Structure 1
């Protein structure tokens, strides 16, 4: 999932901790290369943020000067994680929603429809066998037999296609529910966080891209498929 957020300012953590907080996570949104650490030119010459590696090493003819201060980066990522976490309903609300879920979208409904289709297919197959018996006993002509069988087979094909589509919907519903559960599990403990940690960043984030204006795009490892 991608969330595009404007940069904001706040107090930074210590430079040594911040230095490794986003290590291996930051990339330029245009050239897609990694961002390099940026250090202050004056004073303590401490770590202050990141800058595009392509711009830093090859110049502006190859990429623009994408950069971001560590203060801005920390606050924006922290805000985004908390915002994701706050979207999660508590367990009681989730249970209540599951009880109120629309019946036609439930797994049980799909299974009932699939069972009904299969019973119809079995019934038509029975008709085919009976029609063959009637033909063998000269109760119907060959032309009548072929006409009946052709109609039965056309109906079976249509029913099998309906069955295939329903099975796909049922599998998709199950997959989306699994993705939702993963998303809840990943973010539920971060509603009231006040400080980022390396473990938190590694658990939740796949990569972060920095735009030319200093805003960022966060690619999370987990997503709410219904959000």
Structure 2
């Protein structure tokens, strides 16, 4: 919450979405503006780029605060219900494998990592040996150069493999941990009826508001919610999980 400092408006009012809600096009934060007649339903957010630099730079991304809160709360409740009721399907869809499978993969990669480290150590010993043979006259300079080049190339390939394995292991561990942590958060809010600043900051990293679409004869506006630890959840995933509930 400290990261998202909320600057009060001229009326002294603040909003829990200040610092969290952003423009989906330019990525800048949306300003929180209060209505002149102090009517809360007219309080709104507007793109800071559009406000400061004009619509030619970024089109106006306007959304009323009450509509934003209702939309985010509805999406969070849907997400919580889908994840809580279909935990394993959610894990698989997010790329996290069952723990038993994940442990096997991690164990195999760690074995490869240990093997690569030992091979590098062995090459170091071989290099030291041929160097001593070269200095002692047992190995010609040309032969020494050829062998040392081979060893160096092999070591370089092994170092690249080590780097890749370390990255894969870290990514896999982090992914599994993040999904586990997100599911733990979901369990805290199974009966979420009201959106509070504490819940919002715990569950959500950012909310991206798109420009309104009026091509169908009415105002339609897309909002993307980036959840903490897992990011933006694809609509197709939530729809699939939701359909499982109604099936």
TM over 0.5: yes
Match of 1:88, SS?
helix
Distance, in Å, in 2 between the alignment partners of 1:187 and 1:207 is: 17
Aligned counterpart, 2:199: 200
User: What TM-score do the two structures reach when normalised by structure 1?
Assistant: 0.66
Sort the Cα spacing of 1:110 and 1:58 in 2 relative to 1 into closer, same or farther, 3 A.
closer
Deviation at 1:149, TM superposition (A): 1.9
Describe how 1:6-17 pairs up with structure 2 within 5 A: none
Once the 2 structures are TM-superposed, how far is the Cα of residue 169 of structure 1 from its aligned partner?
1.9
More deviation, 156-165/203-212 = 203-212
Q: CA RMSD in A?
A: 4.1
What does 1:77-96 align with in structure 2 at a 5 Å threshold?
77-88=72-83, 93=88
In the alignment, structure 1 residue 51 sits paired with structure 2 residue 44: yes
2:98 partner SS = helix
Indicate conservation of the 8 Å contact 1:78/1:195, yes or no: yes
Q: Which stretch of the first structure deviates more once superposed, 198-207 or 21-30?
A: 21-30
Distance 2:201 2:149 in 1: 60
**In 1, Cα distance between the equivalents of 2:186 and 2:32?**
26
Query: What residue number does 2:221 align with?
Result: 215
Paired residue for 2:63? 67
* Aligned residue number for residue 116 of structure 1: 115
For 2:31, the equivalent position in structure 1 comes to 34
Residue 27 and residue 36 in structure 1: after superposition, are their counterparts in 2 closer, same or farther (change >3 A)?
Answer: farther
Aligned length: 202
Deviation at 1:162, TM superposition (A): 1.4
- Determine the C-alpha separation between the residues in 2 that align with 1:60 and 1:139: 79
How big is the shift at 1:69? 6.4
The Cα shift of 1:187 comes to 2.4
Deviation track 1:21-51 (CA, whole Å, cap 9, x = no partner) reads 6463556656744132347x7xxx7421433
Structure 2 residue aligned with 1:99: 100
Partner residue of 1:7? none
Gaps of 5+ in 2: 1-12, 92-96, 213-219, 234-247
Matched, 1:169 2:164: no
Q: Greater RCO between the two (CA within 8 Å, min separation 6)? A: 1
**Is the 1:67–1:212 contact (alpha carbons within 8 Å) kept by the matching residues of 2?**
no
Contact 1:37–1:51 (Cα < 8 Å) also in 2: yes
Max Rg structure? 1
Q: 1:140 to 1:59 in 2, by over 3 A?
A: closer
> Normalised by the size of structure 2, how large is the TM-score?
0.61
Mapped to 1, the partners of 2:134 and 2:54 lie a distance apart of 85
Q: Any conservation in 1 of the 2:130–2:144 contact (CA below 8 Å)? A: yes
- Does structure 2 retain, via aligned residues, the 8 Å contact 1:28–1:210? yes
Q: Deviations over 1:104-163 (max 9, x none)?
A: 3x2x22221111111112222232233334445544333222222221222112212211
In 1, the alpha carbon distance for the partners of 2:137 and 2:103 equals 52
Q: How do 1:131-142 and structure 2 match up within 5 A?
A: 131-142=130-141
